[in-house]
Amino acid sequence: MEVTGLTSSGLKFVALGGLGEIGLNMAAFEYGDDIVVVDCGLMFPEPYMLGIDVVIPDIGYLLERADKVRAILLTHGHEDHIGALPYVLRDLHVPIYGTALTLGFVKEKLKEYDLDQQADLRVVKPRQKVTLGEFEVEFIRVAHSIVDGCALAIRSPEGVVIHTGDFKLDQTPVDGELTDLATFARYGEEGVLALMADSTNVEREGYTLSERLVGDAFAEIFPRCSGRVIVAAFSSNIHRVQQVVDAARKSGRKVLLNGRSMIGNVQIARELGYLTIPDGLLIDLKEMPKLPKDQVCMITTGSQGEPRSSLTRIAMDDHKQIKIEEGDTVILSSRFIPGNEKTISDLMNHLYRRGAEVIHEKVSEVHVSGHASQEELKILHNLVRPRFFVPVHGEYRHLVKHSQLAQKVGTPKERCILAVNGDLVLFAGEEACIVDRVETGRVFVDGKGVGDVGNVVLKDRKHLSEDGMVVVIIGINQSSGEIIYGPDIVSRGFVFEDDSQQYLDEAKKVVLDTLALVNAEVLTDWSEVKLEVRRVLRRFFNKTIERRPVILPLILEM
């Protein structure tokens, strides 16, 4: 697609996920014969995605250009930035660059899919540069809700693009690792072609609170608790785990880790030196009953009320070894992810029924965000002073709001490029704009099936969940067309058969009366019989009880 003032040569940027949505982060930068990919994330299913385990980006655009892809660059180790790697690496065999903890989490994830040995994982440090064809990439330290996060300075012959990843400007981080504003300022002095910045918290005024405040809250809460303290948090939030451990130690409590991902991530972080836990502080399940209640602290997964998570099973009294007792305190140390409010509310109700006290972000500072708010974003824009700005990582309203914020701090409106997934942005010479669209989308993962469940299947599942199913079994003589057996009607999720047998008998009679009017030749054509049965029953059910079940005729040759 030709655009005035631009040619097909230049730096191309296209998001395969993460623009106009939260999660599924993946973007490609292309110059000449070289492509570098930033992040490879997943998203968890939305309510209408019945039966789906996870959602990953459609990488068809990359597979068509697989010989050009030089590497995947990871900004940090959250699932929405690394979670799709086990699926993508089956088809795209390229090096993966990331910091030590990020690749530690990646390696553990790949082990589950027997991909850890063949994956080419390359550890980098902040301020390290790597050359990938026409690209030179520098990793820049940023603070976030996970250790070892980085922004990327991606240099091509067209200039430097800064991609922030997820970040905030925490002035008192738990590990002392500040966002590297000096490097951002250095690039700003040199001249930045484009800034692509995290938009998640753009609607929040002021500054995001420091992670250290959560530690202060723990230090205040723990000594007040007479029973066990159970802290639910994301297993990737190593800073949070460290602060729970510190508060437990100071209040004379031993620590039990619960949940597979929590145990695994803590082990990785300890081995890499990102987490300090004194010898003898950790206990196992066998030791917990031997300790007084006020000497026990548990760190668990399940803060979002996930159906089979450890905390949910504990709250439902469905855990074999851990039971909630009167006097226990449960701290939900994470934000309520939009869409999960009802699930989390139900979780809290179950915990209260069993005698626990529940503390969460709405009543105490037991969680802070890992994303920059408005004033932090303004600081970054003023340091980098980009020629062009492309908001990333957010729903569409976040992208619009971030574009408006950029204009307030001096970026002209015509240089703010509001792109969504699939928009191909071309930077060439002194100009930039959206020049084309490429095919992108979501790939559904259901069990071991990847991409075999599409929108049609989801619609069928939704139909089944709302209206139920009716199976009509008919035995027909193949040569004469005579009905020898049935029709027998079996329903699931439609009506309760024991109480509705008279109604189902009426439905059978309707089918028989209809087939009696059909000539014998038609009755020997199974597809025609199925169409007639569906048509007459659909009309009967809609007219009598205004329901639209899925109708599945089953013809037996006899």
Give residue 412's pLDDT.
97
Going by C-alpha positions, the residue among 257, 202, 193, 268 that lies closest to residue 231 is: 257
Does residue 231 contact residue 255 with C-beta atoms inside 8 Å?
A: no
Cα angle: 263, vertex 265, 268; to 5 degrees:
110
C-alpha 309/C-alpha 259 separation (Å) is: 8
C-alpha 323/C-alpha 312 separation (Å) is: 11
Average pLDDT over residues 394-404: 96
Give residue 521's pLDDT.
65
Give residue 1's pLDDT.
36
CATH number of 212-359: 3.40.50.10710
Average pLDDT over residues 281-304: 93
C-alpha 132/C-alpha 156 separation (Å) is: 10
| Active centre residues (catalytic) | 198, 371
Residue 465 reports pLDDT greater than 70 = no
Residue 529 reports pLDDT greater than 90 = no
Give residue 335's pLDDT.
83
Give residue 362's pLDDT.
84
Residue 262 reports pLDDT greater than 90 = yes
Give residue 339's pLDDT.
66
For residue range 476-501, list pLDDT tens digits in order.
Answer: 777 766 777 878 888 877 777 666 78
Residue 430 reports pLDDT greater than 80 = yes
- Give exposure, 389-417, as e/b (b: 16+ Cβ within 10 Å): bbbbbbeeebbbbbbebbbeeebeeebbb
Place domain 11-206+369-450 in its CATH homologous superfamily: Ribonuclease Z/Hydroxyacylglutathione hydrolase-like (3.60.15.10)
CATH number of 468-557: 3.10.20.580
C-alpha 210/C-alpha 173 separation (Å) is: 7
Residue 161 reports pLDDT greater than 60 = yes
Domain with CATH 3.40.50.10710 in the chain: 212-359
Average pLDDT over residues 86-100: 94
Domain with CATH 3.10.20.580 in the chain: 468-557
The model's pTM is 0.83
Q: Higher-confidence residue: 220 or 479?
A: 220
Give residue 531's pLDDT.
85
Average pLDDT over residues 123-152: 97
